[in-house]
Structure 1
């Protein structure tokens, strides 16, 4: 017998169970649920918006780019090959997209209790209007219905920006990226709505296999001698301006740790030469990354770009997966991260400069109350990014608010960013953040720690104003 259960999204989802607090949360949410979405940091493909072509099919859009999805399936023994994930050497993988979708549908129960389930159900219900829960019996219904809709004009990427009420979305590109897709947007009216972010890890991380080739490309792009310390720094300034010309208001730095350094020019130059030689130790390449965070902070004061630091991920923890499929295949794992000592060299030099805007993120929740909130609650240059990646979840967001608010307040945080490749889930992700913020604020109102008028004002700011201020998007 076919299993056609209804797909229902309760209007009170994620709100408190207590009826008094829930009523307050409802009122707060009603005031902000329809505010425009500002997505200041993410990894959507700019080619989508440049070409404005319809998406191919449900599998290639919803499953293949989303490591949240296939890491869960892989954890249950389902091979990445069977999910259509391309191999580095071109070894054949499953290409029957309907079959892949069936595998996903058959195992959709694995996502119970996860944020992925919340996001996906919202996409299925709100974006595609599906009325039955996903399972093996409804897999074809889902696949066919989604594909029928994807070919329509209203499902082109630019039309979806309007449908989703996305005021601005930022992508993230490496320092030597040509930005050809952002260039193609110029003159379309979307160039200020789809902007880039400068992520220079490709020319700063000497542990990368492509570090030297990227340094060479940096020289070709800028006309600078990137084998000299000053030429290298000037080349980075030129590329930052190039990104600024394509809309960038922020930089992003995905280092393994939060280590910073403040070396003399002679010391920094010698370390750079050692990295170029390929003979630097792991400690020396880490020191170089730390020095470059301080250099990037100085450049942010010069050009006004907001600086984001995303440390603490052990990237590509599974070597066999990395060797066969490459990076970003669900094998990145959070690591313990120390901020107080690691950031001190940078903060000694620039932390008191209110013109500098640094947003700190962490995958180590033990640092929220002990390190990050006290740091942001003191240094003018620091703000706290929202619960990130593994903690971009209802419970993760609540833990963040509970642990940082008493010390850092609300105004040393920067609202929400979705940090996603999964374009269609962006409204759902922002909606979760809005609901959780209203839940947290409602608790403060119910405990008479905040007036409801103040809570309404804060809900607006957490949803919209703070993110625009932090990323200088006004």
Structure 2
């Protein structure tokens, strides 16, 4: 990098560095902020909730139970878990996890000594002592991080008790839910029948017909909106949407558990369109995460449950997969559909051209395996020339690791600064335009995409 380029990148980065954080999609636990109790210990804070951390350790032969992951490992000594983490700290060299964790240790937890097997106990004790201090309680950290809005991801069956408690409290921090209905939309979910029964119970509404089922879903969406929600979130491995002229008979079949796998796939494809139509009605932004084959390690799934770091990217056909949805509702300016992919080959080939045409679409930021420095650079290189900047959804951290949120946004802002400085160097635009784009990419696009009012 030349001196001039470096100077421009630094100038742009500094213009974003202190901006507030908008975190419109993530997986933090709302109870942290509702109860505002000290975090239990360094391992529970830094290791066990973070897929990026424990999947790397497992890949090197460290048993999940030894890391305190899942019910069978719940009795693992947190100090021993932290020692294992410290002893294998070198495994994270070259990964964004290393950058994030160094930021957390240095900037947030004020740890000056390097993390090693020899320093593990001293650092563990230092962090433990800090976690008992008032300034390290969840709400205090939220405020110190300068978080403007933080969205959690919540099952459609969640009672939202913690969110309701937050809204009734004096605390001004904005923590909002996100409606995640996959468990009551996808008949291939192993708990689908039980989930429907629970949906009927919590809405006090019969699900004996397709129309009554849709009514119950609308009731739940309305309750989420009352708690501040601005978005829904949906996950699908093999993308498929399909409009069924008469879904009633198929609904009765999936509700009884008699549908075939193909019928279940078609039903879920139809329900994604129903969700898009409901978003036009109630204004909730719709997020779609496609192309992740989840829970690929069956041994881990059986012993420890779902979402234990065994996700693997799949090839994704966005053009054909979304054809039915887009040709039914894609021209609506009331619908906002944010697309996330793990298939990087689709950025330039599909997502950028699609978002550069359909008014409802926005391209989500790099996700899961690609929210790294190089992943951010690849993202901008592949989407901007066709989609521009204003068809992007800004940044979201999509994390369960609360303390890593500032680090993740900092890495994104550094990536933005570097990208914009390269754009200036190649003559795409000047410094004035770059200075306008920097806060847009850091904060404003996320606010706009998720319809978050300041």
| TM-score bucket of the superposed structures, by smaller chain | over 0.9
For 2:449, the equivalent position in structure 1 comes to 470
Matched, 1:107 2:91: no
Shift of 1:257: 2.6
Q: Which runs of 5+ in 1 are unaligned?
A: 1-16
Alignment pair present for 1:78 and 2:59: no
Answer yes or no: is 1:214 the counterpart of 2:195. yes
Mapped partners of 2:58, 2:380: distance in 1 = 32
Match of residue 236, structure 2, among 249, 255, 265: 255
Which stretch of structure 1 is more off in the superposition, 37-46 or 216-225? 216-225
- Cα–Cα, structure 1 residues 73 and 26, in superposed 2: closer, same or farther, change >3 Å? same
Residue of structure 2 equivalent to 1:200? 181
Gaps of 5+ in 2: none
RMSD of aligned residue pairs (Cα, Å): 1.2
Query: In the alignment, is residue 383 of structure 1 matched against residue 369 of structure 2?
Result: no
Q: What whole-Å deviation, never above 9, does each CA across 1:199-236 have from its counterpart, x for those lacking one?
A: 10110111112111111111122232213100000110
How many angstroms does 1:279 deviate by? 2.2
2:221 matched to 1:237? Answer: no
Instruction: For 1:454-465, list aligned pairs within 5 A.
Output: 454-465=433-444
Q: CA deviation at 1:258?
A: 2.5
TM-score, L = length of structure 1: 0.94
In the alignment, the residues of structure 1 paired with residue 2 and residue 128 of structure 2 have an alpha-carbon distance, to the nearest angstrom, of 41
Aligned counterparts of 1:142 and 1:281: Cα–Cα separation in 2: 54
Deviation at 1:20, TM superposition (A): 2.2
Q: CA deviation at 1:189?
A: 4.0
Say which SS state the counterpart of residue 318 (structure 2) adopts: coil
Match of 1:7 in 2: none
Choose from 151, 155, 165 the match for 2:132: 151
Question: In the superposition, relative to structure 1, how do residues 220 and 141 fare at CA in structure 2: closer, same or farther (>3 Å)?
Answer: same
Distance 1:202 1:358, change over 3 A: same
Which residue is 2:335 aligned to?
356
CA deviations 1:162-205 (Å, max 9, x no partner) are 11000110001011110111111122244760000001011011
Deviation string, structure 1 residues 443-468 (Cα, Å, up to 9, x no partner): 01112211101001000101111111
1:94 CA drift (Å): 5.2
Matches within 5 A, 1:21-170: 21-87=5-71, 91=72, 95-170=76-151
Length, aligned pairs only: 453
Which of 303, 320, 323 is the aligned partner of 2:302? 323
Could you tell me how far apart the structure 1 residues matched to 2:260 and 2:375 are? 36
In structure 2, the residue matched to 1:300 is 279
- What is the DSSP-based 3-state SS (H/G/I as helix, E as strand, rest coil) of the residue aligned with 2:26? coil
Task: Tell me if 1:412 matches 2:391.
Answer: yes
Mapped partners of 1:97, 1:217: distance in 2: 35
Q: Is the Cα–Cα contact under 8 Å of residues 23 and 151 in structure 2 kept in the other structure?
A: yes
Structure 1 pair 40–143 and aligned structure 2 pair: CA distance change class (3 A): same
> How far is 1:92 from its partner?
5.7
**Residue aligned with 1:340, SS:** helix
Task: Name the CA distance, whole Å, in 1 between partners of 2:103 and 2:295.
Answer: 30
